[in-house]
Structure 1
Amino acid sequence: MAKLSQYEIEREANIARNKALLEQLELKQAVDNLQLEKKPVPKPKAKPVQPVKKEKKQDAETRTTRRSTRLKATVDPTLNPAAKRKREEEIEVERAIAAEARIEEEERERQAKRPRHGDLDLSLLVGLDEPEDASTLAKELSGIPVHPAHKGIIPQDDETTDAKAEERATKALEDEFKNVGVLSRAKVTTNRVYCAAYHPDENKDLIFFGDKAGMLGIWDATASAEDDTERSETSEDGKYWRLQLHWPATTKSTISSIQFNPTDYHKVFTTSYDCTVRNLDFTTGVSNELYSSEDILLTSMDLTPEGHGVWIADNAGGITHLDIRESKESARWYQVAEQKIGSISVNPQRPEFVVTASNDRTLKIWDVRNFGKMKSGDTKEFDSGIVQAFTESNTGAGTFRGEWRHGKSASSAYWDPRGRRIVSTSYDDILRVWDFKSSVFESKKEFPSLRPECQVKHNCQTGRWLTILRARWSPSVDAHPHFIIGNMDHSLDVRTDKGALVAKLQNKNKISAVQSVVTSHSRRIQRLATGNASGRCVLWGPKDEVEDEEAEE
């Protein structure tokens, strides 16, 4: 007999106690019905085999079966030999025509998914469903002056620190932005804004926005509405045009940067994730390709002051130099970082100095005058090993001027219009400003110290759905040096070169999204523009220019 478990022993004892209790109560029938034997454990039932699901058969009349051209085209067996030969020849011709048409259709489908490398005119770039047609846009752009009204003279900063002078300059900036508010709003692009540029024309507010699907939005932000009587709180302000400048219209064609030619205001350059750089000429109304790479995404671009030299950054850690007066085949590529370079900036006063910011956490300063001496056979592409060996050689001495390692990815770094300062942004949530004396540029040695002059805490955790925050210097040289940057609390921050906050622009009634992308006018310091993740853009300016000034909260 098998040994009972503890559970079974306790069960038998409980049954015996219950039996004795029922006998005392003289409930004989209940005793008789009490099952003293152990109930067998029922065996689990096997699950039935599930039938294979069969697709419903279509009716013979509605079912479409693919049949080859060979099966469709048959020869009537009752025809005489001459007629049969003629019919067979006709069938072969039909097959050849069908095959050629199929090949052409497949090629069209492939081309529709590839970047466009040829010249594109406005009639092709402006869609039929856009608010204005190509002729209206061409007329608008043709009225822009070709050259700046006045270039002005860059004032020389006093390199000595004067606390009282700094305090007065900061107070003057505060007064400038005290009365700045929302002037105009419109959904200029259909997708997330990735970059922006404020046209230097002083007679109108013409702002260019690039979105994540290759669309270039051109916004005349203060243009008069066609019918003021129909305006409401949700009306679009000004006039705008949308150009599908880069193709295909997907995230593979994101416009990553926009730059105006500093000597010709009728030309705007754009870089894109479709691996191309394009130049849109307002005079001819044609966009032509300046440069293209095989499979390297282009992330940023900057031009030298004379407008001929172009420096392009990419996601492979490289920078490309191109002279637009020469063919695109003359471009030279240098790998100066191990990971993606998010921004590149040319010093506007000393164009031989270039600063890069990379995902490898570094900000690096280069003297590119020696780059042309770099050689490795007949190649025009120099990887990081060649670049490092060159900078450590006697020939390349003075090419690399220094670096600063951030806590996390360095997302941007830009020279100020005076060519003395750099502001950087990083995912470590710190804004950093460097201020260099003129003597460090005159020497051929590395900068003696690359420690930031000031550091300011700023939330840069934009996540996946917002464009990365980038601090941008005001290009105006008529005011004290200052930069602007979007804030995660839906505001626009204005700070001095010392990091002091002089203005926090916001409007809770009209602005309910993060203004990730920022830009400002080169002469009118009170003119700022921002864009958000939905394609909606905002023009900021003096409140007294608003027709219906909002009530103070």
Structure 2
Amino acid sequence: MAESNDYEAERLKNIKENERLMKELGVMGGSSAIGGPSPKRATPTKPKKAATPKKKADTTPTRIMPSRSSARLAGHEADSETLKRKYEQEAEEARKVAEAAKRARHQPFDLSGMTGGELEEEAILALESTLQGLATNAASAAELVDIKDEKKRRSGKKEDPERSTERKELEDILNKMTLKSAAKVTPKRVYSMAYHPSTDKDLVFVGDKEGSIGVWDAAPTASSSSKGSVVKKEDDEEEQDAEDAFPEGTAWTLQVHGRSPVTCIKFDPVNHNSVYSCSYDSTVRKLDLATGKSDEIWAGEEDVLLSIFDVLSPSTHPSAYIDTPNPSLDERSMWIADHRGGLLHIDLREKTRRGNNTRRWQVCEKKIGAMSVNRLAPHCIATASLDQHIRLFDVRALASVVKQTADAPYNYKGVDADDLEAAQTKAQFSSNKARQACTSVDFSPRGDQLVGVSYDDVVKVWSMDPSSLFSEHGLKSRAAVTKTHGTAKAGGRKSGVKKKEPDSSTTTSLFSWLTKAKPLKTEEDVALAIKQEQEAPPPSASQRPDDVLADPTRIPHNNQTGKWLTMFRARWNQNPLLEPHFTIGSMTRRAEVYSADGTLLRSLWDENLVTAVPAVTCMHPVLPARLVTGNASGRCTFWSPDG
């Protein structure tokens, strides 16, 4: 018993000694801090997550792949030569299929062929009824206004300073724009877009990355909720309120080109039932809306990609008849730019021609990404190229001072230096260099302003006089054409029609533009127009500024679209009666509207329905404040004024 008491006393003594040592070492609490249960910490309550709205069912078609098979069960050894050859053959077959899909489709197609037989007969009939009769509803800007009344209204505004200006009127209607509909129109990324001139229907044609052209009836209607591109709800989403669904309009997809990007879409300036489109499959095709048929207009070399084109016609300007490399009664004249720095000219009266028979001139060292023809001076073409330049060419000099070439060089190293120097010193009369590649250029409908976009995060706007857009060699070529073709085509020196003297005060005014832009319907009108153009005194080089592209208005703008977005292109509103303004996409997921002086007039954005960059923009060519945008997923939005 005494031994147990001694042991207990020794144990307690050791405990006290340990506690003393631990306190000296700074371990507070003694032995209670060792081995004892740790105090409970107050755990903060997690905030409740906000209820996430139900997502729409993903209706994107999924590719059904063959089931995978085991190489071991098939008797193949790992890393065997037999297995390697099998994989190489499969990869080669897949590559050939992909290349075959990208090749041009030269044959004609009807609506059923362009839809791949996937649309029901009811949907095809709805598309046909939408396309037919559009030309009768189209109108030009000159037809929508009485020029005399418009002149009185504008002169009255100047006399009364209290009345709103053109800018104020434009801002008022732009501020009324709201998002009307949004829908996925094309399967892939949007590359190009064109708005039909019809005034009673909002019909938009959208080109995508894989050769498809989407036809979108954008205006929301009562019938659009039951057919077209409206997505049907799944069983678990039928309980969702009807008011949560946003209008989508009606959309159809037509496989017009091979599976290559549709880089440009334009309507025929005279017959709005014809839609021209070009693609990286090196073809230009025409879609006839009245018959629903697509035909090939022109085909170039398979490895020369087409970037953009523009169409001239009698409604453009009378001088379009004589200021082309093929002067005559030129009912349709098309200019095309390719990715190897070439300009091509096509007379659409000619039969379908292939690449080696086309008039082509090497004007740039690298790819021409954008091009625009001046409506008031159709001999002037602006180009934006990968060599960091925006250039102005007088195409009248191309046929006389620049050698015509049929074959495009493989790359910039194969460009003939002498030909390029002749083009850029004789046919070119002005240029502007940026710090990085130039991606867009566009002339205003009045022909007196030019907007360009470059990758160095700037948008430039130039103001110019259309009468100063020429080169000395172009004037010499014009005089030669007048001497050779002028009197014969104009019907001789004697004419029963009295020549109308131009008003020097309004030579480049809006109303002069409207007068000159009237279509010439008869051969007599054509002969008179040619005679007046040829008898007009030539412009003087001494009165032209030293550099037409000097001192632009610079607008800071983030243009770093990167690899997965279509590059931004600034596009003027094509109605010359409105205050000049252009649209462009923005990396902030907005569609922006700018005036010619760089003022941001309107920024369009919706936080719920616009969740990607609207890289491609397009406005109605006649009606104001009607805008369509497209993004990298093929989704488009339609904005218009209320009411």
TM-score, scaled to structure 1: 0.72
**Distance in 1 between the 2:358 and 2:343 partners?**
10
Deviation at 1:228, TM superposition (A): 4.8
Is 1:473 the equivalent of 2:572? yes
**Cα distance 1:206–1:228, how it changes in 2: closer, same or farther (>3 A)?**
closer
Is 1:209 the equivalent of 2:206? yes
Is 1:292 the equivalent of 2:299? yes
Equivalent AA in structure 1 for residue 277 of structure 2? T
**Distance in 2 between the 1:342 and 1:378 partners?**
20
Equivalent AA in structure 2 for residue 491 of structure 1? R
Is 1:125 the equivalent of 2:126? no
Deviates more, 1:262-271 or 1:236-245: 236-245
Deviation at 1:113, TM superposition (A): 5.3
**Cα distance 1:384–1:410, how it changes in 2: closer, same or farther (>3 A)?**
farther
**Distance in 1 between the 2:424 and 2:100 partners?**
45
**Distance in 2 between the 1:375 and 1:439 partners?**
23
Deviation at 1:130, TM superposition (A): 4.3
1:385 alignment partner in structure 2? 417
2:596 alignment partner in structure 1? 497
**Distance in 2 between the 1:389 and 1:228 partners?**
59
**Distance in 1 between the 2:136 and 2:399 partners?**
32
* Alignment map for 1:306-385 (pairs within 5 Å): 306=314, 308-327=332-351, 328-329=353-354, 330-374=357-401, 376=403, 385=417
**Distance in 2 between the 1:119 and 1:447 partners?**
49
Partner SS, residue 340 of structure 2: coil
**Distance in 2 between the 1:535 and 1:232 partners?**
24
**Cα distance 1:110–1:384, how it changes in 2: closer, same or farther (>3 A)?**
closer
Equivalent AA in structure 2 for residue 339 of structure 1? K
- The equivalent position to 2:248 in structure 1, one of 209, 219, 237, is 237
Partner SS, residue 131 of structure 2: helix
**Distance in 2 between the 1:436 and 1:110 partners?**
46
Equivalent AA in structure 1 for residue 335 of structure 2? W
* Alignment map for 1:6-85 (pairs within 5 Å): 56=72, 58=74
**Distance in 2 between the 1:511 and 1:255 partners?**
23
**Cα distance 1:227–1:189, how it changes in 2: closer, same or farther (>3 A)?**
closer
**Cα distance 1:150–1:438, how it changes in 2: closer, same or farther (>3 A)?**
closer
Deviation at 1:56, TM superposition (A): 3.2
2:498 alignment partner in structure 1? none
**Distance in 1 between the 2:424 and 2:562 partners?**
38
Deviation at 1:234, TM superposition (A): 4.3
Deviation at 1:129, TM superposition (A): 3.5
**Distance in 1 between the 2:435 and 2:164 partners?**
31
Contact 2:310 2:335 in 1 (8 A): yes
**Distance in 2 between the 1:165 and 1:287 partners?**
53
**Cα distance 1:466–1:388, how it changes in 2: closer, same or farther (>3 A)?**
closer
1:69 alignment partner in structure 2? none
Is 1:425 the equivalent of 2:414? no
Deviation at 1:109, TM superposition (A): 9.7
Deviation at 1:392, TM superposition (A): 7.7
Is 1:114 the equivalent of 2:212? no
Equivalent AA in structure 1 for residue 619 of structure 2? S
Partner SS, residue 134 of structure 2: coil
Deviation at 1:387, TM superposition (A): 3.6
Is 1:405 the equivalent of 2:405? no
2:179 alignment partner in structure 1? 182
Deviates more, 1:464-473 or 1:321-330: 321-330
Contact 2:218 2:638 in 1 (8 A): yes
Once the two structures are superposed, what CA deviation does each residue of 1:204-262 show, in whole Å capped at 9, x if it has no partner? 00001000011100001115243759855345511111001111x3xxx1100101001
- The equivalent position to 1:140 in structure 2, one of 119, 130, 134, is 130
Deviation at 1:380, TM superposition (A): 7.8
Contact 1:259 1:270 in 2 (8 A): yes
Deviation at 1:172, TM superposition (A): 2.6
Partner SS, residue 475 of structure 1: coil
- The equivalent position to 2:219 in structure 1, one of 222, 242, 248, is 222
Contact 2:202 2:217 in 1 (8 A): yes
Contact 2:182 2:637 in 1 (8 A): yes
Partner SS, residue 135 of structure 2: coil
**Distance in 1 between the 2:125 and 2:416 partners?**
48
* Alignment map for 1:478-489 (pairs within 5 Å): 478-489=577-588
Equivalent AA in structure 1 for residue 334 of structure 2? V
Deviates more, 1:330-339 or 1:192-201: 330-339
Contact 1:478 1:523 in 2 (8 A): no
Partner SS, residue 273 of structure 2: strand
Equivalent AA in structure 2 for residue 261 of structure 1? D
**Distance in 2 between the 1:112 and 1:291 partners?**
19
Equivalent AA in structure 2 for residue 331 of structure 1? T
Bigger fraction of residues in helix: 2
2:269 alignment partner in structure 1? 262
Contact 1:474 1:520 in 2 (8 A): yes
**Cα distance 1:501–1:109, how it changes in 2: closer, same or farther (>3 A)?**
closer
Contact 1:246 1:274 in 2 (8 A): yes
Query: Structure 1 regions of 5+ residues with no counterpart?
Result: 1-53, 61-65, 67-106, 159-163, 545-553
Partner SS, residue 142 of structure 2: coil
Partner SS, residue 287 of structure 1: strand
**Cα distance 1:272–1:490, how it changes in 2: closer, same or farther (>3 A)?**
same
- The equivalent position to 2:546 in structure 1, one of 437, 448, 453, is 448
**Cα distance 1:197–1:453, how it changes in 2: closer, same or farther (>3 A)?**
same
Once the two structures are superposed, what CA deviation does each residue of 1:476-504 show, in whole Å capped at 9, x if it has no partner? 11211011111111111111111111111
**Cα distance 1:256–1:443, how it changes in 2: closer, same or farther (>3 A)?**
farther
**Distance in 2 between the 1:166 and 1:195 partners?**
39
Once the two structures are superposed, what CA deviation does each residue of 1:270-316 show, in whole Å capped at 9, x if it has no partner? 11011111111112221111122221111111111436111111111
**Distance in 1 between the 2:270 and 2:438 partners?**
30
Contact 2:220 2:247 in 1 (8 A): no
Once the two structures are superposed, what CA deviation does each residue of 1:76-97 show, in whole Å capped at 9, x if it has no partner? xxxxxxxxxxxxxxxxxxxxxx
Partner SS, residue 325 of structure 1: coil
Deviation at 1:185, TM superposition (A): 0.8
**Distance in 1 between the 2:456 and 2:423 partners?**
29
**Distance in 2 between the 1:55 and 1:110 partners?**
29
Count how many residue pairs are aligned between Structure 1 and Structure 2: 436
**Distance in 1 between the 2:408 and 2:339 partners?**
15
- The equivalent position to 1:463 in structure 2, one of 540, 562, 573, is 562
**Cα distance 1:117–1:535, how it changes in 2: closer, same or farther (>3 A)?**
same
2:621 alignment partner in structure 1? 522
2:611 alignment partner in structure 1? 512
1:303 alignment partner in structure 2? 311
1:24 alignment partner in structure 2? none
**Distance in 1 between the 2:634 and 2:406 partners?**
42
**Cα distance 1:172–1:331, how it changes in 2: closer, same or farther (>3 A)?**
same
* Alignment map for 1:143-154 (pairs within 5 Å): 143-146=133-136, 148-152=138-142
Is 1:437 the equivalent of 2:465? yes
Partner SS, residue 510 of structure 1: coil
**Distance in 2 between the 1:271 and 1:215 partners?**
11
Contact 1:425 1:470 in 2 (8 A): yes
Contact 1:410 1:425 in 2 (8 A): yes
Deviation at 1:146, TM superposition (A): 4.9
Equivalent AA in structure 1 for residue 336 of structure 2? I
Once the two structures are superposed, what CA deviation does each residue of 1:125-183 show, in whole Å capped at 9, x if it has no partner? 0134448643332222112125843451899999xxxxx99994333322121111101
Bigger fraction of residues in strand: 1
**Distance in 2 between the 1:346 and 1:484 partners?**
18
Once the two structures are superposed, what CA deviation does each residue of 1:396-425 show, in whole Å capped at 9, x if it has no partner? x5x211100011100010000001110001
